[in-house]
Structure 1
Amino acid sequence: MSDIKNKMTETDVYAIHGADPEVLAYAMAKYSRSALTMKESLAEISAQRAEQFLNTFYFQYGHRSIADLAHIPFAVERLSLLAAIELVDEQRWDGQERSTRYQNFRTSGWYTPDLGAKTPAFTAAIEASFAAYDRISAGMLEALKKAIPRPEEMKPEAYERTLKARAFDVARYLLPLATNTSLGQIVNARTLETQVSRLLTSRFAEVRQLAEKLRLAATEPAWNVQRGAAEVLCEEIGSVDAACGQRASDALLRPVKTAPTLVKYAGRNDYLAESRRELAAAAAELMGSEPIAPAPVVDLIDDDEPLEVELATSLLYPHCHYSYRQLRGHVAALSEARLAELIALGAKHRGRHDELLRAFSAGRGFRFDILMDIGGFRDMHRHRRCLQLLQGYTDAHGYEEPVCPGQPTLAEARIEAEYKAAMDAAFATYRSLRDSGVPEAAESAQYCLPLGTRTRAMFKMDFAEALYIAELRSGVAGHFSYRRVAWEMYKAVAAKHPALAHLFRIEDVNVPVDLLKR
Structure 2
Amino acid sequence: MPDLQAELPSTQNVPEHSQNRTEVFAVHGADPEVLAYAMAKYSRSALSMKESLKEISSQRAEQFLNTFYFQYGHRSIADLAHIAFAIERLSLLAAIELVDEQRWDGQERSTRYQNFRKSGWYLPEFGAEAPARARYIESIESSFAAYHQVADGMLAIYKQQVACPPEMKPEAYERTLRARAFDVARYLLPLATNTSLGQIVNARTLETQISRLLSHPVAEIRQLGESLREASSNPAWNVHSGDLAGLQKRIAESDPELAEEARAMLTREVRPAPTLVKYASPNYYQMESRRELAQAASEIMGGAPIAEAPLVDLVEKTESLEAEIAATLLYAHSHYSFRQVRDTVAALGEARCAEIVEMGVRHRGRHDELLREFSAGQALRFDILMDIGGFRDMHRHRRCTQIIQRLTALHGFDEPDGIAGTELAPVFAQALTAAHAAYAELAASATPETASSAAYVLPLATRCRALFKMDFAESLYISELRSAPQGHMSYRRVAWEMYQAVERQHPALARHFRATDVHEPVDLLKR
1:113 is displaced (CA, Å) by 1.1
1:9 is displaced (CA, Å) by 4.4
- Residue 503 of structure 2 aligns with an amino acid whose one-letter code is A
1:411 is displaced (CA, Å) by 3.3
Q: Where does residue 438 of structure 1 map in the other structure?
A: 447
Equivalent pair of 1:72/1:187 in contact (CA under 8 Å): yes
Give the 3-state SS of the residue equivalent to 1:319 in structure 2. coil
- Residue 401 of structure 1 aligns with an amino acid whose one-letter code is E
Equivalent pair of 1:87/1:199 in contact (CA under 8 Å): yes
1:166 is displaced (CA, Å) by 0.6
1:394 is displaced (CA, Å) by 0.8
Instruction: Pick the aligned partner of 1:490 from 499, 502, 518.
Output: 499
Q: Do residues 248 (structure 1) and 248 (structure 2) align?
A: no
Q: Where does residue 371 of structure 1 map in the other structure?
A: 385
Instruction: Pick the aligned partner of 2:285 from 257, 271, 285.
Output: 271
Instruction: Pick the aligned partner of 2:518 from 483, 503, 509.
Output: 509
Q: Do residues 316 (structure 1) and 337 (structure 2) align?
A: no
Alpha-carbon distance between aligned partners in 2 of 1:138 and 1:219, rounded to the nearest angstrom: 45
- Stretches of structure 1 that go unaligned for 5 or more consecutive residues are 404-408
Instruction: Pick the aligned partner of 1:448 from 449, 453, 457.
Output: 457
Instruction: Pick the aligned partner of 2:376 from 348, 362, 387.
Output: 362
Give the 3-state SS of the residue equivalent to 1:368 in structure 2. strand
- Aligned CA-pair RMSD: 1.3
Q: Where does residue 174 of structure 1 map in the other structure?
A: 188
Instruction: Pick the aligned partner of 2:71 from 57, 60, 70.
Output: 60
Q: Where does residue 205 of structure 1 map in the other structure?
A: 219
Q: Where does residue 341 of structure 2 map in the other structure?
A: 327
Q: Where does residue 39 of structure 2 map in the other structure?
A: 28
The alignment covers a number of residue pairs equal to 513
Alpha-carbon distance between aligned partners in 2 of 1:437 and 1:126, rounded to the nearest angstrom: 21
- Residue 22 of structure 1 aligns with an amino acid whose one-letter code is E
User: 369-378 or 302-311, which moves further after superposition?
Assistant: 302-311
Q: Where does residue 426 of structure 2 map in the other structure?
A: 417
Give the 3-state SS of the residue equivalent to 2:332 in structure 1. helix
Q: Where does residue 280 of structure 1 map in the other structure?
A: 294
Q: Where does residue 406 of structure 1 map in the other structure?
A: none
Alpha-carbon distance between aligned partners in 2 of 1:411 and 1:315, rounded to the nearest angstrom: 39
1:251 is displaced (CA, Å) by 0.5
1:5 is displaced (CA, Å) by 3.5
Q: Deviations over 1:362-398 (max 9, x none)?
A: 0011100000000000000000000000001111100
Equivalent pair of 1:114/1:444 in contact (CA under 8 Å): no
Instruction: Pick the aligned partner of 1:72 from 74, 83, 86.
Output: 83
Q: Deviations over 1:104-150 (max 9, x none)?
A: 01110000112231212111110110000000111111110100011
1:4 is displaced (CA, Å) by 11
Alpha-carbon distance between aligned partners in 1 of 2:197 and 2:489, rounded to the nearest angstrom: 23
- Residue 476 of structure 1 aligns with an amino acid whose one-letter code is P
Q: Where does residue 92 of structure 1 map in the other structure?
A: 103
- Residue 423 of structure 1 aligns with an amino acid whose one-letter code is L
Alpha-carbon distance between aligned partners in 2 of 1:379 and 1:402, rounded to the nearest angstrom: 16
Alpha-carbon distance between aligned partners in 2 of 1:258 and 1:123, rounded to the nearest angstrom: 38
- Residue 309 of structure 2 aligns with an amino acid whose one-letter code is A
Alignment of 1:447-486 (within 5 A): 447-486=456-495
Runs (4 or more) in structure 1 with deviation over 6 Å come to: 1-4
Q: Where does residue 227 of structure 1 map in the other structure?
A: 241
Q: Where does residue 102 of structure 1 map in the other structure?
A: 113
- Residue 126 of structure 1 aligns with an amino acid whose one-letter code is I
Alpha-carbon distance between aligned partners in 2 of 1:212 and 1:8, rounded to the nearest angstrom: 52
Alpha-carbon distance between aligned partners in 2 of 1:337 and 1:120, rounded to the nearest angstrom: 49
Q: Do residues 19 (structure 1) and 30 (structure 2) align?
A: yes
Q: Where does residue 178 of structure 2 map in the other structure?
A: 164
- Residue 298 of structure 2 aligns with an amino acid whose one-letter code is A
Q: Where does residue 395 of structure 1 map in the other structure?
A: 409
Instruction: Pick the aligned partner of 1:351 from 347, 365, 377.
Output: 365
- Residue 83 of structure 1 aligns with an amino acid whose one-letter code is A
Q: Where does residue 43 of structure 1 map in the other structure?
A: 54
Alpha-carbon distance between aligned partners in 1 of 2:381 and 2:303, rounded to the nearest angstrom: 26
Q: Where does residue 228 of structure 2 map in the other structure?
A: 214
Q: Where does residue 130 of structure 1 map in the other structure?
A: 144
- Residue 340 of structure 1 aligns with an amino acid whose one-letter code is A
Task: Please give the TM-score of this superposition, normalised by the length of structure 1.
Answer: 0.97
Q: Do residues 427 (structure 1) and 427 (structure 2) align?
A: no
- Stretches of structure 2 that go unaligned for 5 or more consecutive residues are 1-10
Alpha-carbon distance between aligned partners in 1 of 2:345 and 2:415, rounded to the nearest angstrom: 33
User: 236-245 or 484-493, which moves further after superposition?
Assistant: 236-245
Alignment of 1:113-124 (within 5 A): 113-115=124-126, 116-117=129-130, 118-124=132-138
Residues 7 and 43 (structure 1), Cα distance of their counterparts in 2 relative to 1, 3 Å cut:
farther
Alpha-carbon distance between aligned partners in 2 of 1:149 and 1:500, rounded to the nearest angstrom: 42
1:413 is displaced (CA, Å) by 3.0
Q: Deviations over 1:317-374 (max 9, x none)?
A: 1100000000111100012111100000000000000010001110011100000000
Alpha-carbon distance between aligned partners in 2 of 1:9 and 1:399, rounded to the nearest angstrom: 62
Residues 123 and 32 (structure 1), Cα distance of their counterparts in 2 relative to 1, 3 Å cut:
same
1:181 is displaced (CA, Å) by 0.2
Give the 3-state SS of the residue equivalent to 2:259 in structure 1. helix
Give the 3-state SS of the residue equivalent to 1:77 in structure 2. strand
Equivalent pair of 1:366/1:463 in contact (CA under 8 Å): yes
Alpha-carbon distance between aligned partners in 2 of 1:510 and 1:26, rounded to the nearest angstrom: 54
- Residue 334 of structure 2 aligns with an amino acid whose one-letter code is C
- Residue 413 of structure 1 aligns with an amino acid whose one-letter code is T
User: 194-203 or 438-447, which moves further after superposition?
Assistant: 438-447
Equivalent pair of 1:301/1:368 in contact (CA under 8 Å): yes
